[in-house]
Amino acid sequence: MRVFIALLAAKLVRLLLRLTHRGGTALPGKVALKICPDLLSRLARDVSTVIVTGTNGKTTSCRIAEQLFAEAGIPYFANRGGANLKQGITTEFAMNANLFGRPKRQYAVIECDEAAMVQVCPEVKPKVILMTNVFSDQLDRFGDVLTTLDAIRRGMDASPDSVLCLNADCSLSASLHEKLKNKVVFYGVECPVYKEQVQENSDAPRCLRCGTEYEYSLRTYGHLGHFRCPQCGYERPHAHVAVTEIPYQGADSTRVMLRLGDVTVPAEIAVPGGYNIYNAAGAAAVGMALELDEPAILSALANFHCGFGRMEEMELNGVSARMILVKNPTGCNQALNFLANTEGDALFVVALNDRVGDGTDISWIYDADFEKLLCLGERLKGIYCVGDRGADMAVRLKYAGFPLQKLRVFGDYGSLIDALSAQSAPVVMMPTYSAMMDLRGALAQRFGLKEFWE
């Protein structure tokens, strides 16, 4: 009876939000959990779930994992709206169940916030957990990264039957398997991911066990790579799934050689960007963990569609545009690496806010290496700054050495969109989270883009 009332309440709240054109995804779950506190575990019992967690790349990895099910013809559901805490996840399970708690689809792909893993995993008991990586967000201290890592570990520990897909190149993620009994599929990259190798500061340079500085035989980006501690011997584990070669990196896609267990095959990845090579390898590991066959894994990588704000493509009056969400220096540097390697003309937009969802301290823009874009020279048609702190962004770029005539600050999104539509160079927009909401709202008003929660 409790389950029935909780589900009825959740569905009514959702309907009400929809009728009033609000996209709230946490509230229905919140109400339902008040009525029936163990609702999530009851609903998840009969669903085989893939949970995706980690600092960067969750959304793109979820989209590829969804495509694994789509290619295999398996009906599934997913929390696409970005509500990745327990309440939002409960909403998703509730919407996929009938009023008696029976699931309408038996498979799910669920993005889960790192800190929420402790609450979500023991209830959902996922079949597979994919962890992308752990980086320090904004100005978090290293101690916070260890707290995050521990929250993820405790979540995994509470679900010992879950197969873990761990990034072998991330010294923090890879360390988890030593403390857990779960079965592990390691994935990684065994070649450089950028043509122009840029040395970045590592946010995790020292051995987790003994504090000695790691040695690297290969560094891909951030602290990711083939690490080894010269003191205690802690090193990158062997990867079961690995990208061994990258023959082609284009503006729209990437071609790689992919090792799946014992075989190495050519694979096409439907998105550009070195960091997406990791997302693809991670999702391929999920495919292995689900025991899907090789053709299904390869077509998922080639055919998936990018998530909201993750290299999402759109057209503004005939001008091609992409949106890349930036939320921390590591993520931003990967976007900049990708942009520095593009061919042809380019125009960039940086939309910077400092509201709660963005992180209120914007000094991270000085840690991100915008100087990388200087190599574009004449091909760079401009960098437009917008958002609550757009003017600060322009100052940052001025210090980077960009010519002043290429920098413009816009006070509102309407005039920015006018300026973008009036020129012809392909546009790449890099907003922080709340700026992405504003920018997308303005674009939707002008060009009628789909509302993001649909």
Binding site for Zn ion (CB under 5 A): 207, 209-210, 212, 229, 231-232, 234
| Residue nearer to Zn ion on the CB measure, 52 or 229 | 229
Taking a C-beta distance cutoff of 8 angstroms, is the pair 10, 32 a contact?
A: yes
Taking alpha carbons only, the member of 84, 148, 147 closest to residue 120 is 84
Distance CA(394)–CA(378), nearest Å, equals 19
To Zn ion, the closest distance from the beta carbon of 213 in angstroms equals 9
| Residue nearer to Zn ion on the CB measure, 196 or 215 | 215
To Zn ion, the closest distance from the beta carbon of 235 in angstroms equals 9
Taking alpha carbons only, the member of 416, 196, 436, 407 closest to residue 310 is 436
Taking alpha carbons only, the member of 345, 308, 371, 375 closest to residue 82 is 308
**DSSP-based three-state secondary structure for 375:** helix
Taking a C-beta distance cutoff of 8 angstroms, is the pair 273, 340 a contact?
A: no
Distance CA(109)–CA(61), nearest Å, equals 10
| Residue nearer to Zn ion on the CB measure, 204 or 229 | 229
Q: DSSP for 374-395, please give it.
A: GGGGGGEEEEEEESTTHHHHHH
To Zn ion, the closest distance from the beta carbon of 214 in angstroms equals 8
Distance CA(331)–CA(367), nearest Å, equals 11
To Zn ion, the closest distance from the beta carbon of 188 in angstroms equals 19
| Residue nearer to Zn ion on the CB measure, 210 or 444 | 210
* Lookup result for tokens 């509230």: 27
To Zn ion, the closest distance from the beta carbon of 226 in angstroms equals 15
To Zn ion, the closest distance from the beta carbon of 312 in angstroms equals 41
To Zn ion, the closest distance from the beta carbon of 242 in angstroms equals 23
| Residue nearer to Zn ion on the CB measure, 217 or 231 | 231
Taking alpha carbons only, the member of 295, 283, 292 closest to residue 63 is 283
| Residue nearer to Zn ion on the CB measure, 210 or 374 | 210
Dihedral sign for Cα atoms in the order 99, 100, 106, 109: positive
| Residue nearer to Zn ion on the CB measure, 230 or 403 | 230
Dihedral sign for Cα atoms in the order 217, 194, 54, 299: negative
To Zn ion, the closest distance from the beta carbon of 236 in angstroms equals 13
| Residue nearer to Zn ion on the CB measure, 227 or 370 | 227
Distance CA(109)–CA(96), nearest Å, equals 12
